[in-house]
Amino acid sequence: MTDSFLLELDELVLRGSPESRARALWYATDILIAGRYNEEEVWIFGEVIGRLADEIEVVARAKLAEKLAHSNNAPFNIVMILAFDDSIDVAGPILQYSERLDTNALVANIKTKGQPHLLAISKRESIPVEVTDELVRRGNREVVRSVASNKGARFSDFGFLHMVKRSETDSMLAQQLCLRKEIPRHLFQQLISKASDDVRRKLEQERPDLADLIQTSVTDITGTLQSKFGPATKSYFAAKKAVTALHHRGNLNEARIVEYARSHAIEEAIVGLSLLCTLPVDVVERALFGSNGEMVLILAKALDFSWETAMSLLFLGAKDHCISARALDYKHDEFARLTNETSRKILGLYRSRKSAAGADSGQQRLPQLHGV
């Protein structure tokens, strides 16, 4: 029956009048949406519908898009044509609702179409990280606010960082970002440090559970964040005991270091790096809180950590846990240029110097990336 029906439609495409082809288009579309077909049959429907719809006006294309936007039977070739239509009345329903569009199609749409198309994509029920990153990078204020308030959007660390930068001149965006539960703590603190009192009050009203965290963040930001813990402190012994136990069980790894950094568990992060790098704790602490962060990059690269991990450690050791976007971009470029082999050689050289010079060698100047 399906084969016979499609053959009749194909004949109509060839010999029918504009009016009969329009009636056939809606009939075929309704039959497609209501039925159950395999992908090959859906593709054939798409070929026929595409030929029937080839010359219809914008209003009719918009009607077709509305019909297909929520259908799992929507032919992919037709969905793509509608999604990339210059008219947002046509493309909008497909971009916002169609599950037939994959990540690559959405990213391509963002890169080639205008802001109304991006706004429609920002309202999708679920948005993968790759799509969110493109929306944040290319979207205007309305698009960025929309994606920030979308609970189904997933963000990378870089996506969050870019949003934080844009929120410096957009208090509403800052408020929306602060309400996202998955935002990394160090970026949350950056937002709070720059947010107005009015934004902080609104946050506390909307999310009373954040009140303590907001006040704690403000206190941390205005105070001294460097631990400067000594080997005789109680907290140091507790951190050393817990992290060393993890190390002995083989559970001290990059994921654990990232967890320490993002939760501002400074002592645990320093002890963990000390164990993984086989360096004294005081050396790692000075590297973490060094003014330029270059030794942090060397340690991270020597351990084959990702840039996201190195970035988390840089934020942990930075004053007020804040780093400008420009400075971070510079550090990213440095990290990319640095090789694992070079970093391990520097680390090995530093170990040997510490071993030869004894405790006083902690005063020696740390190796600099510029000399590598």
Give strand ranges (E) for 17-150: none
In a domain, 174, yes or no: no
Q: How far apart are CA 203 and CA 198, in angstroms?
A: 9
Task: Identify the pLDDT of residue 365.
Answer: 38
Given pLDDT bands bounded at 50, 70 and 90, which one contains residue 300?
very high
Instruction: Judge whether residue 215 has pLDDT over 90.
Output: no
Among the residue ranges 40-54, 79-93, 257-271, the one predicted with the least confidence is 40-54
> Of 322 and 314, which is predicted with more confidence?
314
Range of the domain at 26: 1-101
Task: List phi, psi (to 5°) of 149.
Answer: -90, -5
Rounded mean pLDDT of 86-99?
95
In a domain, 31, yes or no: yes
> Of 251 and 48, which is predicted with more confidence?
251
Model confidence pTM above 0.85 = no
Task: List phi, psi (to 5°) of 139.
Answer: -80, 155
Question: Which one of 33-37, 115-119, 237-241, 362-366 scores highest in mean pLDDT?
Answer: 115-119
116's tokens:
């109304």
Task: Identify the pLDDT of residue 264.
Answer: 87
Domain boundary among 101, 117, 139: 101
Given pLDDT bands bounded at 50, 70 and 90, which one contains residue 206?
low
Burial per residue of 194-222, b for 16 or more beta-carbon CB atoms within 10 angstroms, e otherwise: ebeeebbebbbeeeeebeebbeebeebbe
Q: Is 127 helix (H, G, I), strand (E, B) or coil?
A: strand
In a domain, 149, yes or no: no
Matching residue, tokens 């930001």: 221
71's tokens:
């259908």
- For residues 293 and 331, the answer to whether their CB atoms sit within 8 Å is yes
Instruction: Judge whether residue 2 has pLDDT over 60.
Output: no
Given pLDDT bands bounded at 50, 70 and 90, which one contains residue 12?
low
End-to-end CA distance of the chain: 73
| Sequential DSSP letters for 238-264 | HHHHHHHHHHHTT--SHHHHHHHHHTT
In a domain, 209, yes or no: no
pLDDT per residue as tens digits for the range 22-53: 676 777 777 777 777 777 777 767 766 776 66
In a domain, 215, yes or no: no
Matching residue, tokens 């809606």: 26
Domain boundary among 84, 101, 118: 101
Rounded mean pLDDT of 136-152?
95
Task: Identify the pLDDT of residue 113.
Answer: 96
Domain count, the chain: 2
Among candidates 73, 107, 68, 75, which has minimal Cα distance to 91? 68
Domain boundary among 54, 74, 101: 101
> Of 156 and 144, which is predicted with more confidence?
144
Cβ-based neighbours of 131, under 8 Å, separated by 6 or more: 103, 106, 107, 110, 121
> Of 216 and 336, which is predicted with more confidence?
336
Instruction: Judge whether residue 357 has pLDDT over 60.
Output: no
Given pLDDT bands bounded at 50, 70 and 90, which one contains residue 216?
low
Tell me the HSE value of 130 on the side-chain side, using a 13 A CA sphere. 9
Question: Which one of 66-70, 123-127, 353-357 scores highest in mean pLDDT?
Answer: 123-127
278 Ramachandran zone, left/alpha/beta (phi>0; psi -120 to 50): left
